[in-house]
Structure 1
Amino acid sequence: MNGKPNVIKEKSYQFAIDIVQLYKAMIKQNEFVLSKQIVRSGTSIGANVEEAIAAQSRRDFISKMSIASKEARESNYWLRLIRDTNLLKDVDLNYLISGSEEIIRIITAIVKTSSTTNEV
């Protein structure tokens, strides 16, 4: 590795931590269905980014990052649904929604760049 920080790796990991905290809050309010959906998709982003970092080929890298993008979009959907249905009282989800949108933008740029260059 080149010693530079990996922005998407760091952001997706912090996002997963925040999602686990949200999951705990949802469980405390006896929300068991949507909590499982958001914890699954929200933690899967970083897991797929990690797999992409260890990819065996550019094609494998793009595939894993594309999956991470889909999981980020799914997480954004669940977060908006939870917010807009007022499922959680006194919980501001806007920072998580913004975070998921930022992750989507970063991963989209990575996939586009990786699809058009000869290097991973």
Structure 2
Amino acid sequence: MKENIIQQKSYEFALKSITLYKKIIAESKEYVLSKQFLRSSTSIGANIEETIGAQSDKDFLSKISIAYKEARETHYWIRLLKDSHYINHDDAMEMLDLCDEILRIIGKIQITIKNRNS
């Protein structure tokens, strides 16, 4: 079976997000922003999984676009948690770098699918 980089990276990102979420609630007792972060960050991989079962290029593009939107939202929540001092700079930068990488990969996938269908 061929390795699926975005599937692997989004899953690993979700695991790191869960660990960071646990840290936020344990250390900062912050439950609202961190829950939003957890939901969007784990949703990226869930939507990637849905793309694997897509029935057409149009279906695939729709689902990969949702994953991209969730990654953008996650990027926002990480910045907000960092700037409101719920997570430290190093944790934030690591997660932002990983999120940026996921966004670049998904963006390239979107372009490839759009170009293939034009």
Same-fold call, TM cutoff 0.5: yes
1:74 Cα shift? 0.4
For 2:86, what is the secondary structure of its paired residue? coil
**1:22 is matched by which residue type in structure 2?**
L
Query: What is the aligned residue count?
Result: 116
**Aligned counterpart, 2:98:** 99
Higher-helix-fraction structure:
2
TM-score by length of 2: 0.93
Pick from 4, 10, 25: which aligns with 1:12? 10
1:74-113 counterparts in 2 under 5 A? 74-88=73-87, 92-113=91-112
In structure 2, list runs of 5 or more residues that go unmatched. Answer: none
Question: C-alpha offsets along residues 18-69 of structure 1, whole Å, 9 cap, x if unaligned?
Answer: 0001111111121000111000000000000000011011100000000000
TM-score under structure 1 normalisation? Answer: 0.91
Q: What secondary structure is seen at the aligned counterpart in 2 of 1:14?
A: helix
- Partners of 2:39 and 2:25 in 1: how far apart? 14
Residues 92, 62 of structure 1: alpha-carbon distance in 2 compared, 3 angstrom cutoff: same
The percentage of counterpart residues that share the same residue type is: 50
Within 2, Cα distance between the matches of 1:53 and 1:65? 10
CA-based RMSD of the aligned residues comes to: 1.3
- Residue 91 of structure 2 aligns to a residue whose secondary structure is coil
Change (3 A) 1:98 1:90: closer
**Amino acid aligned to 2:9:** K
- Letter of the 2:37 partner, please give it: I
Counterpart of 2:36 in structure 1 is 37
Aligned partners of 1:17 and 1:114: how far apart in 2?
28
Aligned to 2:62: 63
Q: Which segments of 5 or more consecutive residues in structure 1 lack a partner in the other structure?
A: none
**Alignment of structure 1 residues 44-55 onto 2, 5 Å:** 44-55=43-54
Asked whether the 8 Å contact 2:34–2:81 carries over to 1, the reply is no
